[in-house]
Structure 1
Amino acid sequence: MSTPDDSGERPSWAPPAEDHREQRSTVWLTVVLFAVFMAVMLVVAVLVVGGVKDSKAGAVQTRPQAVPPASAPASASSAPPATRQEVPVRKLETAANPLVAPGVAMPKVTCELPKLRGTQEQLDAFYLALIPCLERAWHPVLTQVGEPRIPVAVNLHDVSNTACGPPPPASEAMGFYCSDDKTIFVPLPRQLADGGPDLLNQLFLLAHEYGHHVQEQSGILRKHDLLYREANGDQSKILDLSRRLELQADCFSSLFLANAAGRGSIGAGLVRPVGQADFQVPDSKTHGSAKNAALWQKRGLKAKDTSACNTFAAPAAEVS
C-alpha cells in the first residue's frame, strides 16, 4: 500500500487554464444580466399598472359631476378627510312645511333661452335650457330649509300611460307632472294646438309643473297624497286638497317669473298678463276658480318670500 507523496516535491498551485476562467465569467455575467433584466421588467410592470389605474381615474373624473355646494373644496386633492354629513330628507308637511315658512326667499335668476319654435327638437332645446334656470331659482330655496334637491326629467312624447297612471285629457291639461318618475310631461301635440307655442304660456306652464316637482322635493306633495288617502273617498276633501295643490303651483310659477323677469330672455313686460283676467282659464273643480287662480298668481308675482304661496294655510274661500 503506497503512501501519499509528501516529500515536498509536489509542484506549486497554478491558476486554471484561461479558457475555464472565461467560461465561469460568462456564466456569472449571464446571471447578473438576467437579474437586472428581471428587475427592470418588474419596475416597468409596476409603472404600467400604475399608469392604467391613473388613466381609469382620469376617465371617471371627466364624467359630468353633480354641482357641489358653494362651500365644497375646489378639488378633491385639497379636500379634508371625508366626514359623515346629514342627508336632507323631505318634511311631510303642507301648511307647516319649512319651504313656505316666512323669510325663505328666492334669488334673482337670469335665463338665457333659445327662440321658441314649434318642432320637437326646438321645444326640447327650449325646455332643456329652462329647467336649469328653474333649478338655479329653486335649489337655493330648498337648501335654505334643508330639503333634498332631486333631478327632474322632461318628456315631450304623447304618452298613453305613465308611472302615475294614464295622463289627464288634453282638454284639462297642457302638461302634467308624475312624482313616481320625477318627470314633467309636455306632450308635443298639446303644445302645437291653438296656433302653436306661446312664450309666456310655455314659461308659466313649465314653471307650474316644476312647482309640482318642488312640492315633491319638499314633502308637500307626499303629505298631500297621505291626506288624499285619509279622505277615504270624500270628494269635498279631495277636491279641496287638489285645488290647494294646484293653486300653490300657480303661485310658485309666478314667484319664479317675478324673479326671472327683466333679465336674459324674459323681458320685464312679458310677465305682466300673469294674474290678469285674460290670462285665466275657466273655473275648475280641481284647479280652482279663475278668480282664485288670479289671486294666487298675483301673490306669487308680488311675493317677498315663499310664505306668500302657503295655500294649505289659506281659508276655504281663497281656494274654491
Structure 2
Amino acid sequence: MERPDDSGDRPAWAPPAEDHREQRSTVWITVVLFAVFMAVMLVVAVLVVGGMKESKAGAVQSRPPTPTTTSVTPVTPSPSSRPEVPTRKYETAANPIVAPGATMPKVTCDLPRLRGTKEQLEAFYLALIPCLERAWHPVLTQVGEPRIPVTVNAEDVKNTACGPPPPPEEALGFYCGEGATIFVPLPRQLADGGPDLLTQLFLLAHEYGHHVQEQSGILSKHDMLYGEADGDRAKILDLSRRLELQADCFGAMFLANAAGRGSIGAGMVTQLRQSTFEDSDTHGSSKSSALWRKRGLNAKDTSACNTFAAPANEVS
C-alpha cells in the first residue's frame, strides 16, 4: 500500500478486508512464535557455551592425592621431643668429645703428591682437610656438637684475627679460632729442605685437632680459664700444655685411622712413634709429647686424649 503524499487529499479511512486482517494476524503470530523460538535458542546457546567454558577450565586435572593407608594428624613436638640442635659444650675435662665411647671411623685419604710450590702445597692441604673432616665429623655428631667449616691459609701473614703469629722458630703452622683458620705460611714449609710428608700430615692433623677443640667448646673454655688465671704464669703454661698435647693426641689418632689406606702408608704410624720433639714450656716436654702421641695412636676412642683430666706429671 502506497503511503499518501502529505500535499494531497487523503482518502477516507475504511477497515481492511477480513481476509487481509487474518493474513496479518498470521504474520504477527509467526513473528511472535519465531521471536520466542529464537529467545529459547539463545538461552540454550548461552547455557551450552557456559557449560563448555566450565568444562575447559576443569580440563586441567589436579594431581591425585598420594594414597595413604593411615590417617596422620600433625602434632607440634614438645620441647623434649624436638631434635636437639648441636651446640658447643664449654667444658675441658668434662667435654663430651673426650667422653668414653666416642669413636673415630677408618678413613681413606687420596692426596696429590707433596711438592714444594705454593699451588702444590695448597692442593695437598685442600685434599687433606676433607679427609680430616670425614674422620672427625662422625665423632662430633656422636656427641651432639657442631661441625664448623675450616679454612686453610698458606700466605705469610703478618697478623690474624687472633693477633700476631708466633715466630717461625716456634711453629710451622698455627690455628686461629676467630674465623676458624689453619695458617701454614709457605716460607715456613719450604725451609730446611722443603716439605716432608710426615711433617705435613702431622702438622695439619695437629692444627685440625685445635679446630676440633674449637668446635667442641674446649678451646673457648680454655680461653675462659686463661683469663681467670689472672696472669699466673704456672697456671697459664699448664693450660697451654694441656691444649697442645691434646692436639698432638688428636692428630695421632687421626693418623692411626688413616694410615695403610689411600695415600697414607702404614709406615707413617711407625715414623710418628719414633719421632722426637723438643722440650717446650708451652707445648710440653719431649717425654709428654711422646706419651700423648702414643695414646692417640693406640686409642680406641677419644677419651684417650683427655689431657685436661690427666695428672700434672703427664702434661709437664
Under TM normalisation by the shorter chain, which class is it?
Answer: 0.7 to 0.9
Distance verdict in 2 for CA 1:95–1:195, change over 3 Å: same
Q: Is the 8 A contact 1:113 1:130 kept in 2?
A: yes
After TM superposition, the structure 1 = structure 2 runs for residues 18-97 of structure 1, keeping only pairs within 5 Å, are: 84-97=82-95
Distance verdict in 2 for CA 1:3–1:253, change over 3 Å: farther
Distance 2:296 2:224 in 1: 26
* 2:286 corresponds to 1:290: yes
Q: Is the 8 A contact 1:155 1:185 kept in 2?
A: yes
AA aligned to 1:262 is: G
Partner of 1:172: 170
Q: Is the 8 A contact 1:157 1:188 kept in 2?
A: yes
Q: Is the 8 A contact 1:137 1:256 kept in 2?
A: yes
The aligned length equals: 268
Partner of 1:125: 123
Distance 2:161 2:113 in 1: 32
SS of equivalent residue, structure 1 residue 273: helix
Distance 1:215 1:285 in 2: 20
AA aligned to 1:308 is: A
Distance verdict in 2 for CA 1:131–1:4, change over 3 Å: farther
Q: What are the Cα deviations for residues 137-177 of structure 1, in whole angstroms up to 9, with x where unaligned?
A: 11111111111111111111111111111111111111111
* Structure 1 residue 205: Cα displacement: 0.1
Partner of 2:253: 255
Partner of 2:69: none
Partner of 1:135: 133
* 2:234 corresponds to 1:236: yes
Distance verdict in 2 for CA 1:81–1:155, change over 3 Å: farther
Partner of 1:187: 185
* 2:305 corresponds to 1:309: yes
What's the TM-score, normalizing by structure 2? 0.76
SS of equivalent residue, structure 1 residue 210: helix
Q: What's the % identity of the aligned pairs? A: 75
AA aligned to 1:170 is: P
Q: Which structure would you say has the larger Rg? A: 2
Q: Please, which of 214, 217, 220 is the counterpart of residue 218 of structure 2?
A: 220
Q: What are the Cα deviations for residues 28-79 of structure 1, in whole angstroms up to 9, with x where unaligned?
A: 9xxx9xxx9xx99xx9xxxxxxxxxxxxxxxxxxxxxxxxxxxxxxxxxxxx
Query: What stretches of structure 1 of length at least 5 have no aligned partner?
Result: 16-27, 44-79
Distance verdict in 2 for CA 1:108–1:226, change over 3 Å: same
Distance 2:93 2:292 in 1: 15
* Structure 1 residue 306: Cα displacement: 1.0
Partner of 1:50: none
* Structure 1 residue 281: Cα displacement: 3.0
Distance 2:310 2:117 in 1: 41
Distance verdict in 2 for CA 1:9–1:259, change over 3 Å: closer
Distance 2:154 2:269 in 1: 24
Distance 2:118 2:107 in 1: 26
Q: Is the 8 A contact 1:275 1:295 kept in 2?
A: no
Distance 2:76 2:292 in 1: 45
Q: What are the Cα deviations for residues 201-242 of structure 1, in whole angstroms up to 9, with x where unaligned?
A: 000000000000001111111110110011011111011100
Partner of 1:10: 24
Q: Is the 8 A contact 1:177 1:183 kept in 2?
A: yes
What's the TM-score, normalizing by structure 1? 0.75
Q: Is the 8 A contact 1:209 1:249 kept in 2?
A: yes
Partner of 1:60: none
Distance 1:197 1:204 in 2: 12
Partner of 2:107: 109
Distance 1:226 1:147 in 2: 19
Q: Is the 8 A contact 1:200 1:271 kept in 2?
A: no
Partner of 1:300: 296
AA aligned to 2:303 is: S
